[in-house]
Amino acid sequence: MDQRPTGNFVAFKNREKNPGDKRPAFDGRIAMPGSEDERDFALWAHDFIDRTTGEARVMFNGAASATARNADAGTQIAAMTSGKGEDAGYSGLTLAPRQVVLFPNRFRDEAPDKKRPDYWGAFNPGDGSAVVRVSAWARTDRNGNVYLSGATSYPIPGKSEAEMQDVMGAHEADISHADSQGTGPGKGGRKGGRGAAGGRE
């Protein structure tokens, strides 16, 4: 299995969300690859028309907090006046500081056996760090509520988006197999993954 670093990504359905209101559809946690320091974030749902198929689809757009959840008081206070941050580009997108975006994955149906994610996107930390990729799978918890579970990763030079998704799909498949055998981290509460599927922490 590819040993490139990944970071946690999980988003839970906002149970207070009602159709047509301005509340976010999901809220969750995101970490940079190789880090356990998670930031809170919120995602809003938006309709759009797929230019290739003409279908109405749903994408998600939102923002993460400026500091990690475990940041000390001084760091959180300093972030309040640390400036707006920097826009950054990735795969033809321009992301505002701390912006998180997710799009339906047009590459998924091309190779259903490769476990490509349901959504792909990006996250701009806004602090000068590199933009990271986001891969997310749509799931339901034991109560039937939808949530998104996946990982962040750094772009792999020389690989296409589909090829990078295959790397993440293999990573996800290995974790799923370990969970089903009772040997993976999901049984003990994989951070933000299957162990969190019963609801928010």
Q: Which pLDDT score is estimated for 190?
A: 40
Q: How many other CB atoms are found less than 10 A from the CB of residue 49?
A: 10
Between 183 and 105, the more confident residue is 105
How far apart are alpha carbons 9 and 35 in whole angstroms? 12
Distance CA 27, CA 64 (A): 10
By DSSP bridging, strand 56-64 and strand 38-49 are antiparallel
Mean pLDDT of the chain: 82
Per-residue confidence (pLDDT) for residue 201, from 0 to 100 = 38
The alpha-carbon radius of gyration of the chain (Å, integer) is 17
pLDDT of residue 44: 97
The model's pTM:
0.79
pLDDT tens for 150-179 read 999 998 888 878 777 777 766 665 544 334
Which residues does residue 132 pair with via DSSP β-bridges, in sequence order?
A: 123
Residue by residue, DSSP assigns 57-99 as EEEEEEEE-SS-TT--HHHHHHHTTS-----EEETTEEE-TTE
